[in-house]
């Protein structure tokens, strides 16, 4: 069954089927779609996915172009998933999500997470830096953090170019006080994006500097600054630089 253009099934149809063609009964994109949807439905393993799929087989069969009368056994899902390219899958899924979310600007939160299921080669819980788009309810990226080599802000800064290239609609990053570092903030601005970072009392110098800088700020002064910056960018032959000016009610 041809998948609808732009659907997730059509993205999965671009993947390489790793199975031996002899004895294949179920199309690979359909099986992968069932596995993916089963995981999203909190089915933790292939046996659970198989039981879940049997309960919903009439709907799944029609939606994913599966032609067999009965749902596959758990071993069928295992064999379909054990050899396929994870990187190829990630690219297909990310490409589909990027097209879905291209209609409007996206904001995402960056935060460190320790996995309760994944472990490193030593058996220790895997700590990753997670980029999560709350509006879409999807993780856009994650990268391992550990071994004392890199901090979470350093990992984020190292992957910013790849992150923004993969998600062109990602416009704003949010994070806690840990990410309030000038090199990271400068890199985000240089990439044409914005950030919202929390500063708390445990960073007293930075906290006081920000309070002083915004002490006399008003909505009117913010609007004036934006207008001046926009005019500077459009000035013929100009460098785009403008002098920031604050205005307050009653004083010009």
61-101 pLDDT, tens digit each: 888 888 888 888 998 888 888 878 888 888 888 888 888 77
Helical segments of the chain, H only: 8-12, 28-40, 46-55, 57-63, 74-82, 86-100, 152-166, 182-190, 204-213, 219-234
Query: According to the model, what pLDDT value does residue 108 have?
Result: 94
Q: How far is CA 160 from each of CA 43, 174, 194, rounded to the nearest angstrom?
A: 33, 13, 12
How many domains in the chain?
Answer: 2
Query: Each residue of 125-146: pLDDT tens digit?
Result: 788 899 999 888 888 888 888 7
| pLDDT digits 0-9 by tens, 24-52 | 788 888 888 899 889 888 898 999 999 99
Which residue, among 116, 197, 119, 131, has the nearest Cα to 164 in the 3D structure? 131
Asked if residue 89 and residue 116 are part of one domain, the reply reads: no
Q: Which of 26, 61, 93 is the last residue of a domain?
A: 93
Model pTM?
0.62
For tokens 């071994």, name the residue. Answer: 147
Domain hosting residue 119, numbered range? 105-190
Give domain status of residue 235, yes or no. Answer: no
Q: What is the torsional sign of CA 109, 143, 80, 119?
A: negative
Residue 249, in any domain of the structure? no
Q: Considering the domain boundaries, does residue 250 fall inside one?
A: no
How crowded is residue 99: how many other Cβ atoms within 10 Å of its Cβ? 12
Same structural domain, 23 and 76: yes
């Amino acid at each position: 069954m041809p998948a609808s253009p732009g659907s997730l099934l059509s993205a999965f149809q671009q993947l390489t089927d790793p199975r031996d063609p002899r004895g294949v009964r179920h199309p690979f994109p359909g099986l992968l779609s069932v596995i993916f949807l089963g995981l999203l439905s909190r089915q933790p393993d292939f046996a659970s996915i198989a039981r879940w799929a049997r309960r919903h087989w009439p709907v799944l069969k029609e939606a994913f172009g599966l032609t067999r009368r009965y749902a596959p056994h758990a071993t069928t899902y295992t064999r379909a998933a054990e050899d396929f390219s994870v990187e190829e899958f990630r690219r297909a899924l990310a490409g589909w999500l990027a097209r879905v979310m291209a209609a409007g600007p996206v904001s995402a939160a960056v935060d460190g997470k320790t996995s309760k299921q994944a472990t490193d080669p030593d058996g220790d819980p895997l700590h990753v830096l997670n980029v999560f788009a709350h509006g879409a309810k999807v993780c856009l990226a994650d990268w391992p953090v550990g071994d004392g080599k890199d901090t979470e802000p350093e990992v984020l800064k190292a992957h910013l170019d790849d992150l923004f290239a993969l998600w062109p609609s990602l416009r704003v990053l949010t994070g806690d006080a840990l990410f309030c570092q000038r090199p990271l903030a400068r890199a985000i601005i240089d990439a044409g994006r914005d950030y919202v970072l929390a500063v708390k009392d445990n960073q007293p110098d930075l906290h006081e500097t920000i309070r002083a800088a915004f002490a006399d700020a008003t909505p009117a002064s913010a609007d004036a600054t934006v207008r001046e910056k926009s005019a500077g960018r459009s000035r013929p032959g100009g460098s785009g630089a403008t002098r920031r000016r604050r205005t307050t009610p009653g004083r010009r």
